Amino acid sequence: MYFFEMETNTKTNLLTLDRQGLEDYLESLGEKRFHGRQIHAWIHRRHVTEFEQMTDLSKSLRATLQEHADIPVPRVVEVASGDGPEGATKYLFELADGNRVETVLIPSDDRMTLCVSSQVGCAFGCKFCATAMLGLSRNMTADEILGTYLAVAGGIEGRISNVVFMGMGEPLANTGEVLKTWNMLTDPDGIGLSKRKVTISTVGIPSRIRELADIPNPPKLVFSIGSPYDEVRRRLLPVAGRFSLEENRQALKQYADNTRHRITIALLIAEGMNDSPADARALHKWIGDLPTKINLLRYNEATGDFKRPSEDAVEAVAAELVRLGRTVVLRTSRGRDVAAACGQLAARQLKGTEQ
């Protein structure tokens, strides 16, 4: 349950309240509790964030809410859309304090996936990531993350079916707010996403992976390995690389044993990085008996000296993994035309304004 405080000069943020919290809040205003359920449905099921559009509320109640409450959805600064009906769309949002974060909508034949950010920037400094250029400003709050979801969901045709914490930031460095958001996204009385349709992507914090392992029906997990060689991984991932591949493997084993979830291993391929059959064999050896599928990602030029790999190299890695008996996902690359790699749009805006 979420709690609120009535303050003289501060509006109550309704995105911090669950359904019971909204009922309590409406009662505190001298209104009937069922209005809280109505407002909860407007926000979480219909993705309406303007009181004037909540037409089953009386005009006097809407005026009271306008005076005392707020539904602070982040402001859209820029929208970049890819070509074709299955092109990705990237949104650049401005939060209340002026910080900016990104969200990417990725449609496909069988799903509509929203990739959300969990931090303003990132402190992990991964060498191939544009967000690393920004450094870390702060963690996002659950209502801010939810706000980016609502802003996208309220402006599109169709329903978002999947949410991935794979945008700006390391989700497991902000576990509390990420899990609060997860609870709101999967609340059957609200947005109602399946718990199996929400995924957290991490570069690896073993203690936090173990925490997830102890949660009933936790989010699914993507482990961005960086490299199957510890010495290379330490160079590519200067913060996450402090945790060895073996430490991460043991934590992932606990997660898999406890949850019965299959883990996705994300392998980023660039020219000269993870682009040979030998690299595929090293990854296979590290995985061992972990229940996994492998998602091969082509590098989108963002920062550093990395270059996009040749298709022949990517296909050779995929073929070797399949030969070794692994399940491999190699999707058509999308989002390159909208700077869809994490942090690209925000970094470009930052550079353009010379901040």
Query: Alpha helix (H) ranges present in 45-90?
Result: 59-68
- Helix (H) / strand (E) containing 222: strand 220-224
Is 102 a residue of the active site? Answer: yes
Q: Write the single-letter amino acid at 108.
A: S
List all residues 6 or more positions away from 301 whose beta carbon is below 8 Å from its beta carbon: 307, 308, 341
Mode of pairing for the β-strands spanning 220-224 and 263-269: parallel
The conformation of residue 9, written as its DSSP 8-state character, comes to T
3-state helix, strand, coil in the chain (%, to 5): 40, 20, 40
**Which of 12, 20, 33, 3 shows the shortest CA–CA distance to 190?**
20
Name the catalytic one among 102, 170, 177, 320: 102
Give the whole-angstrom CA distance, residue 322 versus residue 327: 6
DSSP 295-325: EEEEPPP-STT--PPPHHHHHHHHHHHHHTT
The conformation of residue 240, written as its DSSP 8-state character, comes to G
Enumerate long-range contacts of 190-197, CB under 8 Å, 24 or more apart. Answer: 190/18, 190/19, 190/40, 190/43, 190/44, 190/45, 191/44, 191/45, 191/149, 192/45, 193/160, 193/161, 193/162, 193/163, 195/219, 196/220, 197/161, 197/162, 197/163
Name the catalytic one among 115, 122, 129, 342: 342
Is 129 a residue of the active site? Answer: no
Active site residues: 102, 342
